[in-house]
């Protein structure tokens, strides 16, 4: 994990690309639309799952834009659906927002407003703007009509104010079973906007709420709660994703009928990524059915998953900032996110040597029992990161891929008779191999040139390849978890009939290597620091690590030029 201190990590240092939301707020500030009131925004997650990378965009806009205009942002839990909501989610959401580098002004809950919302419902009933309906959910759906056909009035629509008040109060006091009655706004059953066809305001639900317990057995619908919660908090700009655009007339209707603070809803495009699902319902299914190891599985697009994977808040903010905000939905290539992450890690990650699939080499002319230290830069991009000492000895591990007994064309790494550089150490030349019964190479015998210490030969001799290594005697055993895309297809939700998104899962999304060796300095590896295993990729320590058994996650592979050559050759 790369938990960082929010103090040293505020979002305001990143360049901000232009977006229409900023222009709109700037205009409202200029015209003093809200007088001298400060810009107030809110981030309103429903605590029914963990936050994902899409939420990072909403968070960045809500907090970032308010901050830019000297305003404030509330974190408000939209907790109107007790059956799906849990304290675990409330806690994880707070942790994730802070990890991204943002701090809220007030911590709010829609459930704090249940009393006020109830009073306002009574007010709408008294004004003849709301009624209790006894139709079943099915009947309500049938009466609603379609996009091409107007709806029909419910037979209960014209109940008297007195009867409505009486029934609604009895709904609240628990007299009626779940689903037997609802409170509806009385708007227009012929409206071309289906959301305006007498939407349900309250439903009966005898469920225990994670905050209000059994105090309520009626719960407000999202549309009835959201705008009024904004208004109570004097939210000036209520930013949400485009699927709520059709709800905006209803958002405004409630506020106007109640004559309360005129918060304004503004919609922007959802963040969508290739090879990624950003639906809490589907992510929950992946967790519940065990397709991943949990909400924080490093293959998940949740903030807790990508944090465990080694992604950093700096890179995520830079990415969502660059994604900007528009009024049309699109889909961003996952490689753009990876690009921002590589860029950040390349600057900050400490280098280390690790051999994932080891092959032993023995340097026959290096004295047995001898060892020495070579000095290595911690980060060539950052001299301030200093250097460290890495032990070198007669027996070393290199990657199996870095040796070929019979080298293919253009293969410049170690092979019999070929000389290569061991990074930061010496030139070595391979001479012979030892094989196991099945014919695979288990050991390569080499000689080294003692004059080439540090990686250069005094006679100016050139080698075509530099490979990494660890000293067999000093190396630490490690488990390395390699991750690939969780889904095989760019749009995993797009499936033919009879299939589900689960059919698009990548069976090879996790590969566990248990026999890796890493240089001894990684005994001090911490969850906070990213590492670049030289020539292999970016890695971070996994919380499963113990002092006796290091576990590393691959955050991202380096771009591998050899893999490209091989691919081309194969194609
Ligand atoms: P899901 O559809 O997966 O259930 P949601 O939109 O219901 O997600 P909420 O908890 O209601 O999740 O979201 C909180 C805020 O985050 C909302 O304002 C919502 O518009 C925004 N949001 C959710 N998903 C995305 C996304 N992919 N891109 C940008 N903003 C998002
Ligand atoms: Mg939602």
Spatial separation of the C-alpha atoms in residues 60 and 100, rounded to whole Å: 9
Q: What is the pLDDT of residue 547?
A: 84
For residue 96, what pLDDT band results from cuts at 50, 70 and 90?
A: very high
Predicted TM-score of the model (pTM): 0.92
Q: What is the pLDDT of residue 564?
A: 56
pLDDT at residue 191 tops 90: yes
Instruction: Assess whether 103 carries a catalytic annotation.
Output: no
Cβ of residue 273 lying under 6 Å from some atom of ligand 1? no
What's the gap in Å between 280 CA and the centre of ligand 2? Answer: 9
Looking at ligand 1, which residue's alpha carbon is closest to its atom 25?
A: 54
pLDDT at residue 388 tops 80: yes
Give me the mean pLDDT over the 2-28 stretch. Answer: 63
Spatial separation of the C-alpha atoms in residues 301 and 338, rounded to whole Å: 12
Buried b / exposed e over 101-110, threshold 16 CB at 10 Å, is: bbebbeebbb
Q: Give, for ligand 1, the residue of 41, 48, 49, 54 to mutate: max count of ligand atoms closer than 8 Å to Cβ.
A: 54
Looking at ligand 1, which residue's alpha carbon is closest to its atom 26?
A: 54
The rounded Cα 339 to chain-centroid distance in angstroms is: 15
Looking at ligand 1, which residue's alpha carbon is closest to its atom 17?
A: 240
- pLDDT tens string 436-465: 999 999 999 999 999 999 999 999 999 999
Q: What is the pLDDT of residue 570?
A: 64
Spatial separation of the C-alpha atoms in residues 541 and 352, rounded to whole Å: 13
Give me the mean pLDDT over the 372-397 stretch. Answer: 95
- pLDDT tens string 230-274: 999 999 999 999 999 999 999 999 999 999 999 999 999 999 999
Percent of the chain with pLDDT over 70: 95
Which ligand 1 atom is the nearest neighbour of the CA of 59?
16
What's the gap in Å between 222 CA and the centre of ligand 1? Answer: 13
Cβ of residue 54 lying under 6 Å from some atom of ligand 1? yes
Instruction: Assess whether 280 carries a catalytic annotation.
Output: yes
Spatial separation of the C-alpha atoms in residues 469 and 535, rounded to whole Å: 11
Reduce the DSSP state of residue 539 to 3 states and report it. strand
Cβ of residue 121 lying under 6 Å from some atom of ligand 1? no
From 46, 86, 163, 443, active-site residue: 46
pLDDT at residue 407 tops 80: yes
Looking at ligand 1, which residue's alpha carbon is closest to its atom 2?
A: 279
Which ligand 1 atom is the nearest neighbour of the CA of 270?
28
For residue 280, what pLDDT band results from cuts at 50, 70 and 90?
A: very high
| Ligand nearest to the backbone CA of 278 | 1
Residue 235, H or E segment: none
What's the gap in Å between 327 CA and the centre of ligand 1? Answer: 15
The rounded Cα 115 to chain-centroid distance in angstroms is: 35
For residue 381, what pLDDT band results from cuts at 50, 70 and 90?
A: confident
Contacts of 548 (CB under 8 A, 6+ apart): none
Which ligand 1 atom is the nearest neighbour of the CA of 47?
10
Q: Under a CB-based contact definition with an 8 Å cutoff, are residues 54 and 11 in contact?
A: no
Q: What is the pLDDT of residue 147?
A: 94
From 280, 299, 350, 418, active-site residue: 280
Which ligand 1 atom is the nearest neighbour of the CA of 62?
18
pLDDT at residue 19 tops 90: no
Spatial separation of the C-alpha atoms in residues 144 and 152, rounded to whole Å: 6
Query: In the numeric block, which tokens belong to residue 129?
Result: 């703007």
Q: What is the pLDDT of residue 567?
A: 64
| Ligand nearest to the backbone CA of 56 | 1
Least confident of 3-7, 431-435, 550-554: 3-7
DSSP alpha helix (H) spans, 135-246: 137-144, 161-172, 222-232
Cβ of residue 468 lying under 6 Å from some atom of ligand 1? no
From 152, 270, 404, 485, active-site residue: 270
Spatial separation of the C-alpha atoms in residues 14 and 277, rounded to whole Å: 27
Largest CA distance in the chain: 102
pLDDT at residue 565 tops 70: no
Give me the mean pLDDT over the 163-170 stretch. Answer: 98
Q: What is the pLDDT of residue 7?
A: 37
pLDDT at residue 1 tops 90: no
Q: Give, for ligand 1, the residue of 48, 49, 53, 58 to mutate: max count of ligand atoms closer than 8 Å to Cβ.
A: 58
What's the gap in Å between 287 CA and the centre of ligand 2? Answer: 19
Q: What is the pLDDT of residue 507?
A: 97
Q: What is the pLDDT of residue 367?
A: 97
| Ligand nearest to the backbone CA of 273 | 1
Q: What is the pLDDT of residue 241?
A: 97
Instruction: Assess whether 46 carries a catalytic annotation.
Output: yes
Cβ of residue 492 lying under 6 Å from some atom of ligand 1? no
Q: Give, for ligand 1, the residue of 19, 45, 242 to mutate: max count of ligand atoms closer than 8 Å to Cβ.
A: 45
Q: What is the pLDDT of residue 317?
A: 97
Cβ of residue 46 lying under 6 Å from some atom of ligand 1? yes
Give me the mean pLDDT over the 12-41 stretch. Answer: 84
From residue 138, give the alpha-carbon distance in Å to each of 85, 135, 144, 145, 179: 25, 8, 10, 12, 10
pLDDT at residue 14 tops 80: no
pLDDT at residue 428 tops 90: yes
Mean pLDDT of the chain: 94
Spatial separation of the C-alpha atoms in residues 376 and 395, rounded to whole Å: 19
Q: What is the pLDDT of residue 12?
A: 43
Q: Which of 144, 125, 134 is nearest to 186 (CA)?
A: 125
């Amino acid at each position: 994990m790369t938990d960082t201190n929010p103090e040293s990590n505020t979002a305001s240092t990143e360049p901000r690309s232009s977006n229409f939301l900023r222009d709109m707020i700037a205009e409202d500030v200029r015209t003093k639309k809200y007088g001298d009131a400060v810009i107030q925004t809110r981030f309103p997650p429903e605590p029914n799952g963990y936050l994902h990378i899409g939420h990072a965009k909403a968070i960045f806009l809500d907090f970032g834009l308010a901050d830019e205009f000297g305003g404030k942002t509330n974190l408000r839990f939209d907790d109107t659906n007790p059956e799906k909501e849990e304290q675990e989610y409330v806690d994880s959401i707070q942790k994730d927002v802070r990890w991204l580098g943002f701090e809220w002004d007030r911590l709010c809950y829609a459930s704090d407003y249940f009393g006020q919302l109830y009073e306002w419902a009574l007010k709408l009933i008294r004004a003849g703007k709301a009624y209790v309906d006894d139709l079943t959910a099915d009947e309500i759906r049938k009466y609603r009509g379609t996009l091409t056909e107007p709806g029909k009035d419910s037979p209960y629509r014209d109940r008297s104010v007195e009867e409505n008040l009486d029934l609604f109060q009895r709904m609240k006091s628990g007299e009626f079973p779940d689903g037997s009655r609802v409170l509806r706004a009385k708007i227009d059953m012929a409206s071309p906007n289906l959301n305006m066809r007498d939407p349900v305001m309250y439903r009966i639900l005898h469920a225990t709420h994670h905050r209000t317990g059994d105090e309520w057995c009626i719960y407000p619908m999202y549309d009835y709660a959201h705008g009024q919660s904004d208004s109570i908090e004097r939210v000036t700009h209520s930013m949400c994703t485009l699927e709520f655009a059709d709800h905006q007339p209803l958002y405004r209707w409630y506020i106007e009928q109640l004559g309360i603070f005129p918060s304004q809803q503004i919609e922007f495009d959802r963040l969508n990524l290739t090879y990624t699902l950003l639906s809490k319902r589907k992510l929950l299914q992946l967790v519940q059915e065990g397709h991943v190891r949990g909400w924080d599985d490093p293959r998940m697009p949740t903030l807790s998953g990508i944090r465990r994977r080694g992604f950093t808040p700096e890179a995520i903010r830079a990415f969502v900032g660059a994604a900007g905000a528009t009024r049309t939905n699109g889909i961003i290539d996952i490689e753009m996110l990876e690009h921002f992450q590589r860029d950040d890690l390349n600057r900050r990650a400490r280098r280390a040597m690790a051999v994932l699939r080891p092959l032993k080499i023995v340097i026959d002319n290096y004295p047995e029992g001898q060892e020495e230290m070579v000095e290595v830069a911690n980060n060539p991009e950052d001299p301030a990161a200093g250097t460290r000492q890495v032990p070198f000895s007669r027996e070393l591990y290199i990657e199996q891929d870095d040796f070929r007994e019979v080298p293919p064309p253009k293969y410049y790494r170690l092979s019999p008779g070929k000389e290569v550089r061991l990074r930061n150490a010496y030139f070595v030349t391979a001479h012979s191999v030892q094989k196991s019964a099945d014919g695979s190479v288990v050991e390569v015998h080499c000689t080294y040139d003692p004059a080439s210490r540090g990686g250069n030969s005094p006679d100016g001799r050139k080698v075509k390849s530099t490979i990494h290594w660890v000293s067999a005697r000093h190396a630490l055993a490690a488990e390395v978890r390699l991750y690939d895309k969780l889904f095989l297809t760019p749009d995993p939700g797009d499936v033919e009939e009879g299939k589900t998104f689960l059919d698009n899962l990548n069976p090879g999304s996790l590969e566990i290597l248990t026999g890796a060796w890493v240089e001894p300095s990684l005994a001090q590896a911490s969850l906070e620091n990213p590492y670049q295993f030289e020539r292999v990729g970016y890695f971070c320590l996994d919380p499963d690590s113990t002092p006796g058994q290091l576990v590393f996650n691959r955050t991202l592979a380096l771009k591998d030029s050899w893999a490209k050559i091989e691919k081309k050759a194969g194609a």
